[in-house]
Structure 1
Amino acid sequence: MPDSEPSPADAVLERLDDEITFLVDNLRDVSDSLADLAFSLDTHLTEHGHEQVRAVVDRVRGTLNTQVTNDLTALVGLGAIRHGPPADPACTGTVTADLPALAMGDPPPPGTDPAGRDSILADLLADAADHLRRLVAFVGEYFDLARVAAEHGNAERAMSAYRLARRAARQVPEAYQIWVTCLVEAARERPDCPIETTWPPVPLDRSPPAIRQALPPLDTTSPEAN
């Protein structure tokens, strides 16, 4: 007996599921990419690979671009049609969180002996690296929250989590500049740890405007760079 033709309603539902699957796969690829970048960043920070860290930073900043925003928004709408209102009240509402904050000590005061200076700068470098790690991890974590909420059509939860992820991504370049400033300062006058850079060493200054003026800008070709 030949299979019966699907009803118009079944055909529409099948098309809806296909569209949702396509968007879900795209956004899961973004999640995987962010996870890979976080793993690479940890390795490069440990190895003091400033050029590799900078490349990761550029990619993180450019990942949550207009296409990703459009896909997430479309998935929210289709998910709401497919699943209806969220049944679990715990899965509704706006996602709120504080972005990772930079916690650093003071630069070594003038007259500090070489050993003390090296120790203080090493601690500052570690603090800056941890801040960069936390920011990138935050981007991945809250993008994942947004993606899962979008799959279930929870617009408020999805878009609030996504806004947090994008805010954190916009702070990653500045965190990189703070880290590389500490790196250059820590390596100054140490022939055993040379760092080849295209910019001169700069005084350690935790003021973001001063750091932005002292270091060259990162790649600004990404549509979501700002």
Structure 2
Amino acid sequence: MSETRRYLQHIELEEITKPSTEWLSIPSQLHDLTAKAFETLYTCYGENTNQNPADKQITERLIDDALSPIAKRIYEGKQTPEGQRAYSRGRLFSTSLSSLDTEMRGVIQEQASMAALMIYQIDRLIDLQKAGSIESILDVFADLSNLHGELTRSEEYECVMADAEWEVVNQASKRAKLRHKETNQNKIKALAEWEKTGHNYSSMAAFATQRRKAYDVKERTLYDWIRGHCRQKL
């Protein structure tokens, strides 16, 4: 039996997974957060819901898989005084962070896990709303807000890193092209010098040994240039 069926008491996954189905099980105020959570979950697991909508069983499995690592961190967090206080107030995301070093917060949380926990907390909000537990609603909503903020920052960081990686690759490509251009120019100059003064050297090897530094290449490279050039003339 899927753990999701035990965790989610109010969100009807059939509504989520069927296109153009109205979300009657979720208050309209929570639609945007819910859509964000499921979109992130599907994206993290490579499910293209525009081309091939995920069915209920797939969605249940994704939520179960994503909740597993963060559930372990919640359990560990409960062992600390800070975490126990957060857990007693329904702040599960805060509980999961309480066992981590400060510098690790925000990077240890996987996007899929945060998205799945958002779905779980939204379901809890619906339950608390029906029960009229105002104080608990505020605690869970605060935790949900922190989750959403952390997930957004994580995605923005991922975009920044992707842009930075592209820029590094782009700059490296430009430098490689520049070096290649400079090498070709040096080759042309070296061959021109050989044509003009090559008779002053005892051999191609001697020319390569004495003139390699002038063209910023290895001796073997310069020798191969000259030899190839001479063979083409035969």
Greater RCO structure (CA 8 Å; 6+ sep): 1
Give the alignment's TM-score, normalised by structure 2: 0.32
Give the alignment's TM-score, normalised by structure 1: 0.33
Structure possessing the higher radius of gyration over alpha carbons: 2
Task: Please identify which structure carries the higher helix content.
Answer: 2
